[in-house]
């Protein structure tokens, strides 16, 4: 709403949002991101959406004086242009003590993930910048959601904090660029949502093997995933300190998710029976690419003995059938499923002659569920319910529950990436909107 109010201010009219308490810092951060740090707003204690009607009214009545004053009197110029010092110094009894002090300060400022970071010394940052032919001051993009200027140097500083090496830089730069190409919904609104939407990076092409990305048991802690973790962490720190994705400012999760310790995986191209994900998107097998998916949860769909394509894909189709369908007019095509399919599923399916598209079509046609269950999350009379659903208003709850519909609008809402070690354990993510993919080689 701050965005809309700022747009109206830009058109010459005073505009004031009523902001719920927990969103005060979000309003300030959004105002900066959209170029009006002095946007005036009024604060009510509670979030309206899940509040009883009488409380919605009463908490508004309590701030009416503030609201009128904000509409009729000039606000104080509250914005102070903070001059960021480019070099920060820490004095310690020895280097170890200085590093501890740096970590304490960076965590306090919320510049890290609260785990120890590597010192981004000028020497280390220069070393990382040597991993790309781009100059240090080159602006790769304005990184959402806060639209910080993603210079090569700032990317390198954050990558250094994550412990990245020079050879990782082209992937990290491409990933930063990739997020900026996701559009305002996936690249901005979902990241700022109260639901735990989190990016996951996926690399295709020769660079994956060159840098040692693990395409097997690729998610999770430990030695085997050192590179996956490091590149994902570097991207996270960029998203935080360049994209301004700070918790409770521009990341408003209700509970949060460990998926925000962002990971990077490689597709297991050697074990896949199909062209890679990036080949599906028009890149060649020799191109290295990074794709970003926005995920909203994850579920292990296990198979305990099916070996045929029919059996394996039915297990998968039934396993991915959970969650909501969109009742609103916008983002109607947005609900998707990202499927990290292990070789023990992809292999037998491909071996029976199923193309990747055939597999998607099969899954889509067998993933059906109760419409009533999928729309329970939003009252049918809510203003955001699109008019195409009007016919549902005459149905009883029992009738709505009895209506079986496809989980997704089409098979194009399913992405399959072959990832994993031996065993038919598929990892499924509610996801969307459509992923973005960017070539990495241009950043070498």
Partner 1 sequence: MDLLSVLNPVAQQRGMMNIIKPNQRPSTLEGATVGLVWSGTHGGDLALNRAGEMIQERFSNVSVNFYTGGNYPSPPHIVKQAAEECDVVIGATAD
Nearer to partner 1, 17 or 432 (CB): 17
Q: Which distant-in-sequence residues (6+ apart) come within 8 Å of 261 by Cβ?
A: 113, 232, 233, 236
Interface characters, 15-34, with partner 1 (x: CB under 8 A)? xxxxxx--x---x----xxx
Quick check: 98 binds partner 1 (CB under 8 A)? Answer: yes
Q: By CB under 8 A, name the one of 12, 221, 282, 353 that touches partner 1.
A: 12
**Cα distances (Å, whole numbers) of residue 387 to 148, 188, 312:** 39, 27, 38
By CB under 8 A, the count of residues binding partner 1 is 108
Interface characters, 112-131, with partner 1 (x: CB under 8 A)? -------xxxx--x------
For residue 115, give both structure tokens: 């785990």
Q: By CB under 8 A, name the one of 204, 241, 369, 434 that touches partner 1.
A: 241
- Of 42-50, 223-231, 343-351, 357-365, the window that binds partner 1 (rule: CB under 8 A) is 42-50
**Residue 323 and residue 408 in contact, taking contact as beta carbons nearer than 8 Å:** no
Quick check: 389 binds partner 1 (CB under 8 A)? Answer: no
Burial of 137 (0-12, 13-18, 19+ CB in 10 A): exposed
Quick check: 405 binds partner 1 (CB under 8 A)? Answer: no
Tell me how far apart the alpha carbons of residues 229 and 161 are, in angstroms, rounded to a whole number: 13
Nearer to partner 1, 147 or 443 (CB): 147
Nearer to partner 1, 149 or 402 (CB): 149
Quick check: 87 binds partner 1 (CB under 8 A)? Answer: yes
Quick check: 330 binds partner 1 (CB under 8 A)? Answer: yes
Extended beta strands in 135-204, E state: 139-143, 148-151, 198-204
The partner residues of 438 in beta bridges, in order of sequence, read 290
Q: By CB under 8 A, name the one of 25, 138, 166, 189 that touches partner 1.
A: 189
Tell me how far apart the alpha carbons of residues 359 and 411 are, in angstroms, rounded to a whole number: 9
Quick check: 177 binds partner 1 (CB under 8 A)? Answer: no
Neighbours of 422 (CB within 10 A): 11
- Of 36-44, 363-371, 393-401, 411-419, the window that binds partner 1 (rule: CB under 8 A) is 36-44
- Of 266-274, 281-289, 322-330, 418-426, the window that binds partner 1 (rule: CB under 8 A) is 322-330
Q: How far is the CB of 53 from partner 1 (least distance, A)?
A: 6
**Cα distances (Å, whole numbers) of residue 52 to 6, 47, 58, 269:** 29, 10, 10, 52
Q: By CB under 8 A, name the one of 45, 68, 302, 399 that touches partner 1.
A: 68
Neighbours of 194 (CB within 10 A): 15
Peptide bond into 291 cis (omega under 30): no
Q: By CB under 8 A, name the one of 163, 216, 323, 328 that touches partner 1.
A: 328
- Of 143-151, 357-365, 411-419, 421-429, the window that binds partner 1 (rule: CB under 8 A) is 143-151
């Amino acid at each position: 709403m701050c965005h809309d109010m700022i747009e109206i201010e830009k058109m010459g009219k005073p505009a004031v949002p009523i902001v719920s308490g927990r969103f005060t810092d979000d309003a300030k951060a959004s105002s900066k991101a959209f170029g009006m740090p002095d946007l005036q707003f009024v604060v009510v204690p509670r979030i309206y959406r899940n509040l009883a009607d009488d409380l919605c009214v009463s908490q508004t009545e309590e701030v009416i004086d503030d609201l009128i004053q904000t509409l009729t009197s000039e606000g104080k110029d509250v914005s102070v242009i903070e001059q960021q010092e480019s070099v920060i110094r820490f004095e310690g009894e020895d280097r170890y003590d200085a590093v501890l002090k740096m970590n304490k300060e960076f965590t306090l400022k919320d510049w890290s993930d609260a785990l120890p970071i590597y010192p981004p010394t000028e020497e280390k940052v220069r070393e990382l910048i040597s991993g790309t032919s781009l100059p240090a001051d080159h602006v790769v993009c304005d990184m959402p959601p806060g639209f910080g200027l993603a210079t090569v140097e700032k990317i390198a500083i954050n990558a250094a904090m994550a412990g990245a090496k020079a050879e990782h830089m082209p992937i990290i730069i491409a990933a930063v660029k990739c997020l900026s190409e996701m559009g305002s919904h996936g690249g901005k609104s979902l990241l700022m949502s109260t639901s735990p939407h989190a990016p996951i990076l996926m690399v295709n092409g020769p660079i994956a093997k060159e840098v040692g990305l693990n395409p097997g048991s690729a998610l999770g802690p430990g030695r085997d995933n050192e590179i996956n973790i490091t590149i994902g962490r570097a991207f996270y720190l960029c998203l935080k300190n360049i994209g301004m994705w700070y918790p409770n400012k521009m990341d408003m999760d209700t509970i949060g998710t460990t998926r925000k310790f962002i990971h990077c995986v490689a597709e297991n191209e050697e074990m896949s029976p199909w062209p890679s994900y990036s080949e599906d998107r028009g890149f060649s097998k020799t191109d290295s690419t990074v794709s970003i998916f926005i995920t909203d949860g994850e579920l292990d769909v296990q198979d305990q003995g099916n070996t045929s394509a029919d059996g394996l894909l039915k297990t998968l189709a039934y396993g991915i059938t959970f969650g909501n369908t969109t009742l609103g007019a916008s983002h109607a095509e947005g609900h998707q499923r990202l499927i990290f399919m292990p070789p023990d599923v992809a292999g037998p399916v491909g071996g029976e002659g199923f193309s990747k598209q055939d597999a998607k079509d099969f899954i889509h046609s067998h993933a059906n569920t109760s419409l009533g269950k999928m729309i329970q999350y939003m009252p049918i009379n809510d203003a955001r319910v699109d008019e195409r659903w009007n016919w549902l208003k005459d149905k009883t709850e029992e009738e709505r529950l009895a209506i079986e519909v496809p989980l997704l609008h089409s098979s194009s809402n399913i992405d399959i990436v072959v990832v994993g070690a031996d065993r038919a354990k598929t990892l499924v993510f509610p996801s969307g909107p459509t992923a973005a993919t960017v070539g990495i080689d241009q950043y070498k």
